[in-house]
Structure 1
Amino acid sequence: MLSDDLIHALARDFYEAEQSRVQVRAPSVRYPDLTMADAYAIQNAWVEMKIASGNPIKGFKIGLTSRAMQMAVGISEPDHGVLLEDMFFESGETIPSDRFIGPRLEVELAFVLGKQLKGPNVSVFDVLDATQYVVPALEIIDSRAFMTDPDTGRQRSVLDTIADNAANAGVILGGNPIRPEQADLRWVSAILSQNGVIEETGVAAGVLG
């Protein structure tokens, strides 16, 4: 486990990288013994810095939710990150590209909760009961750490992504909210297109849970 001082220093690196839009070296490259607990500790320390700057928590992200993605990065569970207030954008809004480093988009389903979920034994039925409505969403992902370290050539790992707030950068909520019981969410499909050209398609059944 990294020391508290080192965890806060690495969190500060991510905080400043986001502000300057200049990537930093991945923690796992600098500290090869980095653990998942260290990665989440860095993420938590970074989020605390954001909260202290007047940017409150507004939601949460669950990532790596497909078996294929988990196998690709060598883990057996999803990762998670925090959605801060300044990460939310409205559908149709112009988003300033200069606040990101190398943004990418992922199509998601956003669950807007009507009541709190808490505890280790939360079931699917608890989630559905707590959900006020579901809307389509676009997630903006961005990385504040180099993919390839400029000094060693080593690749960043999933632990670096976790420390980097799960590569979280923004979310665009769509319209047409529905109650979860109004549709079989497993078969909600999506088409991501750019200037009329289809870039990607998918179906929610590919997501675990």
Structure 2
Amino acid sequence: MTSSILPLLLFVAVATVTPGGATTLATASGTRFGFARSIPLMLGIAIGLALLAVVAALGLGSLLLAMPALQTIVKALGSAYLLWLAWRIARSGAPNAGNGPARPVTLVNGILLLWLNPKSWAMTVGAAASFALLANSPNRLAMLLGAAFGLAACGSLALWCALGALLARLFRTPRHWRILNLAMGVLLAVSVIPTWR
């Protein structure tokens, strides 16, 4: 059984560590608020992804993918949310400048980020279909996928957030912070583009 789980673990590791909206948000939060204050965001994203994997394994995710109108609504809501976060990040200054968001993104907003992200739905539904034979029931598959995606997301988001916290040590002037925040905002906004392809 261990050898058959390795492809799943490789898939979720690659899927969660590659750059995207969640990883960009974790990096920006680590830069602005530090690692410890970004933990609720990272946990929210990881919990959201784990729950999404559970839902996909239980078959509800395929319902979303089968309904184009519902897909469009989720895409629009998710894109609007990510663009709003990108705007907030791009307009913020240095952490102690008094402009921009004063608090990190919350656990609930982290969950919402994943549930409104069609890419996350497609990724978890694809994993449920591809690795369905790893378990002898939908419930077991749901537990396996939920655990795999949740743990992989925790690790990858911690890595990206730590990178952000490390970057924060390099930025000393308000101009540096403006450039960094603008770059993070643009990257987050650009992460919306693949959703509409």
Q: Same fold (TM over 0.5)?
A: no
With a CA cutoff of 8 Å and minimum separation of 6, indicate the structure with the bigger relative contact order. Answer: 2
Q: Is the strand fraction higher in 1 or 2?
A: 1
Q: Select the structure that is richer in helix.
A: 2
Give the TM-score range, shorter chain: under 0.3
Q: What TM-score, normalized by structure 1, do the two folds share? A: 0.24
TM-score by length of 2: 0.25
